[in-house]
Amino acid sequence: MSSQKPTAILIIHGAFFLPSSWQPLINALTQSQQYTVRCPHLPSCGDERSPKATRDDDIAAVRTAAQELINEGHKILVLAHSYGGIVACEAITEDLYAQSHTNHKGNGIVSLLLLSAWLIQPGHTFEDVITKYGLPGEVDVGSNGDGTIFARNAPASFYNDIDDPVVAGELAKENVTHNWVAGPGKINGAPWMDLPTMYVFCKRDLAILLPLQRCMVQDALDAGGKGRGRFVTEEIDSGHCPFLSMPWEVVRVVNKAKCEFD
């Protein structure tokens, strides 16, 4: 039997979710494809009230998980969803790349998959994108008055592609608050300029509308998204959370990204 480690998938989840929301996809990836999968908890999601965690804490959680996978001998595909795209841009730096001079055995991050994720240009902010293109979607964001925000209409905005309203409502009960201060702020990094990257459009997404997804990708391409790697796109006919509504479609695009960039 080969001693080579399987490809690892490092999931960076979104703002109103916990790693437990990704369990259907994690099960599908580990059982059928024998990937090693990690989905670290971003501390700003489901934080204390009043919240203490910031984006820096989210970045640290991702970098710790990535380094653990590197130490275990893995090549890593990073899968970032929604707010996870913001965290990925700051957390995924050159020292974690497989081709980095610090990773002599070739272990490390080799590619990036952005699943309906925020893709913001270096030097710009979330607010800059909203100013340029308008409201991002149909999420009715509520404030708890203590620095945390939540989705008032999660069944409709996150799970609109799930036909059974009871199932959508049950899923919505698992959504958590997010520390708002983790979202705003200037983006400095752009790993999609260096690494082979696939952006997956979620065509029925009501949280980050498809036109906005396309505009962010076009901005990335205009800014040099083909860089030293490749930048390709794929589509899923889903809402914001295909990892729950159609996990096997996400497995398909993960496999496609792996094949595309091998």
CATH code for the domain in which residue 33 is found? 3.40.50.1820
Is the residue at 144 inside a domain?
yes
Is the residue at 105 inside a domain?
yes
Is the residue at 245 inside a domain?
yes
Residues 6 or more apart whose Cβ sits within 8 Å of residue 124? 186, 187
| Chain segment 77-103, per-residue pLDDT in tens | 999 999 999 999 999 999 999 988 777
Q: What is the rounded distance in angstroms from the CA atom of residue 241 to the CA atom of residue 18?
A: 13
pLDDT at 2 over 50: no
Is the residue at 27 inside a domain?
yes
Containing structural domain, residue 52: 8-261
Is the residue at 1 inside a domain?
no
Q: What is the rounded distance in angstroms from the CA atom of residue 247 to the CA atom of residue 156?
A: 19
Is the residue at 2 inside a domain?
no
- Give 93-102's long-range contacts (Cβ < 8 A, gap of 24+): 93/63, 93/189, 93/191, 94/194, 96/63, 96/66, 96/67, 96/70, 97/194, 97/195
Q: What is the rounded distance in angstroms from the CA atom of residue 1 to the CA atom of residue 35?
A: 16
| Structure tokens, 118 | 């925020």
Q: What is the rounded distance in angstroms from the CA atom of residue 38 to the CA atom of residue 8?
A: 8
Q: Tokens 């096997």 belong to which residue?
A: 248
What are the beta bridge partners of residue 2? none
| Chain segment 96-135, per-residue pLDDT in tens | 999 887 777 889 999 999 999 999 999 999 999 999 998 7
Q: How confident is the model at residue 1 (pLDDT cuts 50, 70, 90)?
A: very low
| Chain segment 15-40, per-residue pLDDT in tens | 999 999 999 999 999 986 779 999 99
Is the residue at 120 inside a domain?
yes
Instruction: Count up the domains in the chain and report the number.
Output: 1
Specify the pTM.
0.95
Lateral strand order in the sheet of 141-143: 141-143, 148-151, 178-179
Is the residue at 75 inside a domain?
yes
